[in-house]
Structure 1
Amino acid sequence: MTQLPSLPIPGCDDLPDHDVCLPANLRPDANRLIRYLHELPHRRVRYCPWCGKTDVTLQTPLARQRLPRYYCGSCRKSCNSLSDSPFANMHRMDLWSTFAVYLLAGWSSVQIASRLGVTPKVYFNWGAAVGEVMAEECPELYQWWTTRHYRKNLQPPEHIALQQQAVITWIETMLNAQHATCPRCGGERTYRIKGIRPKFKCDPCVTCFSVLSGTPLVGMIRPELWVDFVQGVMDGLSIPDLKRRSGLGMGASTRWREQFLLLIETLGHSELLQWITWMRSRRNHEAVSFVRQGGHLDKATRSIYPQGTRKGRFVSWR
């Protein structure tokens, strides 16, 4: 976990890895943004935010003042280090940099507000302020982050795209396998049984087996839908989205999503799991905004998946 010195968080001992979902070239900008927000309230005022003159002097701080006050000899106005920033008149400045860490890590508004003990209104005010600071101090990071945060661009960074391709390749390899080793006798004189599912029969010991045995996908039907379905999962689609996309029922879509997440976890792609969590939280926000603006979400067709037991349950990375 990422540890940032001098960033106290009540009741929290560690912070999420905020740079997991970011491209490697933008990670220095993210660290610089967090450090900037941490030092922002304590920076020295060198020019007046009202008139732009440098004739500013530090006043004697009072006990009730949260920040040192500066006096401008030209316009005769006072100011502090936050007067010209989007965080002016905002409180709990010790949590601003911590808030940016959770925001860059892809946590939802509900999770961040609950973790930091703030109201949703405070969350949105802080989010707007962080966005303004990011646009001014780190424009490349702002451009990349906002397009993903608001789902205008779903293209992941290169290292996560490789993990997505690895998952799809694994599924296609399993489905298209023509040779397999018998798990009972270890023989290789096996042949594939006719059908879309990857089942084999061993000649020496007359054993039938599936290459999916021992994986989260064992027992699942409709393998022709798997690649498209897992792509929707990796794009962060919600359960209703997956239901509309695949034609499955709500229960089947929920089970399939859990089994594919369990597969991704089994394959060791933890960074991809964090990306999926971020993308899904933003998709829920996108769908709610779409409906509130008068949009209509088409219903799925009737379920083509029979009721059955779960093959395993995915445990979230959080």
Structure 2
Amino acid sequence: MSDSPFAHLRRMDLWSTFAVYLLAGWSSVRKAPRLRVNHKVYFSWGQAVREVMAEECPELHQWWTTRHYRENLQPPEHIAAQQQAVITWIETTLNAQHATCPRCGGTRTYRIKGIRPKFKCDPCVTCFSILSGTPLAGMIRAELWVDFMKGVMDGESIHDLKRRSGLGMGGSTRWREQFLLLIEALGHPELLGWITWMRSRRHNEVSTFARQGAHLDKATRSIYPQGTRKGRFVSQK
């Protein structure tokens, strides 16, 4: 042990637990408090584990490094399938031409013109939206939903989503929360975990980019007419 990277480290009883957390991808914010060690100890242990892993288990080290630093990471097949299922649900819902009336249960309904899936029932003269009861109920600009959702699933930050959609910071934040609720409602918890993982990857990319002295472009696209703000309307002359 004298020539090991662990030679000058203490608390041997916690090393194996620390290694499990490290391989699981836990951050220092989660690991350090649970093990009751400070961040200086955490980084010393992490360096020692990485050195031993690289020497004793090179294949494991390569696997872990690729995922830890989020390098060239493609979603596994089951995650890709869940991503496609969510996109398909949105597209199918927005393009639906038939619906069952929630009031009378009739199927003699027709779609009201517009992007949002609204319908009217002939027998009981009820107007309804098939988005009612879903996390997307009441949301505007349905033509942006699919592209925005793809950004969410790629782990993009709120600033990234703002640049992508033209929404403001508040709107981008609310939309992201609603789409995450939709993924949960559709029963894809693994996809939610993947999004969290990809979000941390994006954070690492931006941090590295900023440390190199570079700057991200500001959002210039806006869905609102120039000279107006959300909640205000241009007077019609």
**TM-score interval w.r.t. the shorter chain?**
0.7 to 0.9
Contact 1:108 1:282 in 2 (8 A): no
Report 1 or 2 for greater relative contact order, CA contacts < 8 Å, sequence distance ≥ 6: 1
Aligned to 2:89: 170
1:143–1:214 distance in 2 versus 1, CA, 3 Å: same
1:209–1:110 distance in 2 versus 1, CA, 3 Å: same
| Alignment gaps of 5+ in structure 1 | 1-81, 308-318
Q: Find 1:117's aligned residue among 36, 49, 62.
A: 36
1:292–1:212 distance in 2 versus 1, CA, 3 Å: same
Question: Structure 1 CA distance, aligned partners of 2:80 and 2:58?
Answer: 23
Aligned to 1:56: none
Superposed counterparts of 1:39-78, under 5 Å: none
Contact 1:201 1:207 in 2 (8 A): yes
2:231 paired with 1:231: no
Secondary structure of 2:148's counterpart equals helix
Question: Structure 1 CA distance, aligned partners of 2:85 and 2:58?
Answer: 32
Secondary structure of 1:200's counterpart equals strand
Q: Deviations over 1:104-125 (max 9, x none)?
A: 4333232222332222333333
2:9 paired with 1:94: no
Contact 1:108 1:281 in 2 (8 A): no
Q: Displacement, 1:140?
A: 4.1
1:225–1:270 distance in 2 versus 1, CA, 3 Å: same
Aligned to 1:58: none
Q: Find 1:242's aligned residue among 150, 161, 164.
A: 161
Question: Structure 2 CA distance, aligned partners of 1:130 and 1:157?
Answer: 27
Q: Displacement, 1:294?
A: 0.7
1:119–1:170 distance in 2 versus 1, CA, 3 Å: same
Aligned to 2:107: 188
Q: Deviations over 1:60-83 (max 9, x none)?
A: xxxxxxxxxxxxxxxxxxxxxx33
Contact 1:190 1:203 in 2 (8 A): yes
Superposed counterparts of 1:256-295, under 5 Å: 256-295=175-214
2:173 paired with 1:254: yes
Question: Structure 2 CA distance, aligned partners of 1:232 and 1:100?
Answer: 33
Contact 2:155 2:200 in 1 (8 A): yes
Q: Deviations over 1:102-148 (max 9, x none)?
A: 33433323222233222233333333333334444544443343223
Question: Structure 2 CA distance, aligned partners of 1:101 and 1:177?
Answer: 47
Secondary structure of 2:137's counterpart equals coil
Secondary structure of 1:191's counterpart equals strand
Question: Structure 2 CA distance, aligned partners of 1:134 and 1:158?
Answer: 28
Residue 65 of structure 2 aligns to which amino acid in structure 1? T
Instruction: Output the TM-score relative to the length of structure 2.
Output: 0.84
Q: Deviations over 1:179-206 (max 9, x none)?
A: 1111111111111111111111111111
Question: Structure 2 CA distance, aligned partners of 1:263 and 1:186?
Answer: 25
Residue 234 of structure 1 aligns to which amino acid in structure 2? M
Secondary structure of 1:289's counterpart equals helix
> Hey, which of these two has a bigger chunk of helix by percent?
2
Q: Deviations over 1:50-100 (max 9, x none)?
A: xxxxxxxxxxxxxxxxxxxxxxxxxxxxxxxx3344333222232233223
| Alignment gaps of 5+ in structure 2 | 225-229, 232-237
Superposed counterparts of 1:190-229, under 5 Å: 190-229=109-148
Aligned to 1:36: none
2:52 paired with 1:143: no
1:100–1:180 distance in 2 versus 1, CA, 3 Å: farther
